[in-house]
Amino acid sequence: MTTQQVIATQQTQVVATEQTQVLGRALLSPAVVLLFIWMIVPLAMTIYFSTLHYTLMDSENWSFVGLENFRYFLTDPAFLTSLQNTLVLVGSVLAITILLGTPLALLLDQPVIGRSVVRLMVIAPFFVMPTVSALVWKNLLMHPVSGLFAWIANLFGLTPIDWFNDAPMLAVILIVAWQWLPFATLILLTALQSQDEEQKEAAEMDGASALSTFIYLTLPHLARPITVVVLIETIFLLTVFAEIFVTTGGGPGLQTTNIAFLIYSQALIQFDVGNASAGGLVAVVIANIVAFFLVRIIGRNLEV
């Protein structure tokens, strides 16, 4: 190849790259612009509203109040209660899904006859819409007189629990945990199936017990997927809404009101725009703390 040819080829390549880059940008921009608007505009409006005294009942009389709404929201006893409820809900569901999901995934990783059918049964709850799972659990399973759980309690000579009066939070936790158990199990199972079999076999040959193989090989291998499950579930669990909306409506009292439901009720039941917006921003901040860690973990694993 002569020098001229080389230069010519290089030039076409440069042109080609520039062309692709322009095209690439053109193809990318609609998505970027849309997501940018979607991220910025509502958030900016929330910030703006959060500084106003503004209720829909009396929408003519609005005034700028600075940080007053935040002071009100953060010192409202309902906020502390709902923050506590949010943490209890998220924490309990995480604990249940991880503590049950890990053994379940280990079990499904064993040679099981008809494994694909079992997998289908285990995964199914994830695809059930939240309003259905909440109402089916509330009525068909947890009803204190005619529910399936009441019948089981009676079989063992126990007094059936009146779930939504005596342990409403526990009831919500169980429903939500049932919905998310498949997610945790499936991800942990996927991770287990990518584990190095030879390593395990070598450990067994060296006389390692099943327990120590689990503790020293499998558990470290699962550390990352477990972290990912925890972070992703947390993002979604922080905003659990439909399950509470159709079962307890946040009650009795405030017993099952989480942050998401508190903000909803301030916005669309009490029509207090300013206060609900302040609450919304608090929720955004809480979610962002979790998102920060999740995005870092994902970014570390991302090859472009």
Partner 1 sequence: MARKVTSRHVWMSTAAAWLFGFLIFLPILWMFLASFKSELDAFAMPPKFLFFHWTTENYATVQQRSDYVHHALNSIIIAGGSTLIAMLIAVPAAWSMAFSPTKRTKDVLLWMLSTKMMPPVGVLVPIYLVYRDFGLLDSRAGLVLILCLGNLPIVIWMLFTYFKEIPKDILEAARMDGATIGRELVYVLTPMAIPGLASTLLLNFILAWNEAFWTLNLSTLEAAPLTVFIASYSSPEGLFWAKLSAASTLAIAPIIILGWFTQRQLVRGLTFGAVK
Does residue 57 bind partner 1 (CB under 8 A)?
no
DSSP string, 46-103: HHHHHTEE-BGGGTT--EE-TTHHHHHHHHSHHHHHHHHHHHHHHHHHHHHHHHHHHH
Q: DSSP alpha helices (H): ranges in the chain?
A: 3-50, 68-75, 77-108, 115-123, 130-136, 148-155, 163-166, 168-193, 197-205, 210-213, 219-237, 242-247, 259-264, 273-300
Whichever of 45 and 219 has its CB closer to partner 1, that residue is 45
Does residue 31 bind partner 1 (CB under 8 A)?
yes
Report yes or no: 235 and 122 within 8 Å, Cβ to Cβ.
no
Could you say which of 65, 87, 118, 170 contacts partner 1 (CB under 8 A)? 118
Could you say which of 7, 15, 80, 284 contacts partner 1 (CB under 8 A)? 284
Does residue 65 bind partner 1 (CB under 8 A)?
no
What is d(CA 180, CA 96) in angstroms, rounded to the nearest whole number? 9
Shortest distance, CB of residue 87 to partner 1, whole angstroms?
A: 15
Could you say which of 70, 73, 163, 264 contacts partner 1 (CB under 8 A)? 264
Does residue 235 bind partner 1 (CB under 8 A)?
yes
Report yes or no: 99 and 90 within 8 Å, Cβ to Cβ.
no
Could you say which of 9, 63, 146, 195 contacts partner 1 (CB under 8 A)? 146
How many CA atoms lie less than 13 Å away from 120 in the CB half-sphere?
4
Q: Name residues contacting partner 1, limited to 241-260 (CB under 8 A).
A: 241-242, 245-247, 259-260
Does residue 122 bind partner 1 (CB under 8 A)?
yes
Q: Name residues contacting partner 1, limited to 89-108 (CB under 8 A).
A: 104, 107-108
Shortest distance, CB of residue 47 to partner 1, whole angstroms?
A: 10
Does residue 230 bind partner 1 (CB under 8 A)?
no
CA–centroid distance for 231 within its chain: 7
Does residue 141 bind partner 1 (CB under 8 A)?
yes
Binding-residue total with partner 1 (CB under 8 A): 107
Shortest distance, CB of residue 178 to partner 1, whole angstroms?
A: 7
Choose the stretch contacting partner 1; rule: CB under 8 A; options: 40-48, 71-79, 90-98, 200-208.
40-48
Shortest distance, CB of residue 278 to partner 1, whole angstroms?
A: 10
Choose the stretch contacting partner 1; rule: CB under 8 A; options: 2-10, 28-36, 72-80, 165-173.
28-36
What is d(CA 2, CA 50) in angstroms, rounded to the nearest whole number? 69
Q: Name residues contacting partner 1, limited to 159-198 (CB under 8 A).
A: 178, 181-183, 186-187, 190-191, 194
How many CA atoms lie less than 13 Å away from 183 in the CB half-sphere?
22
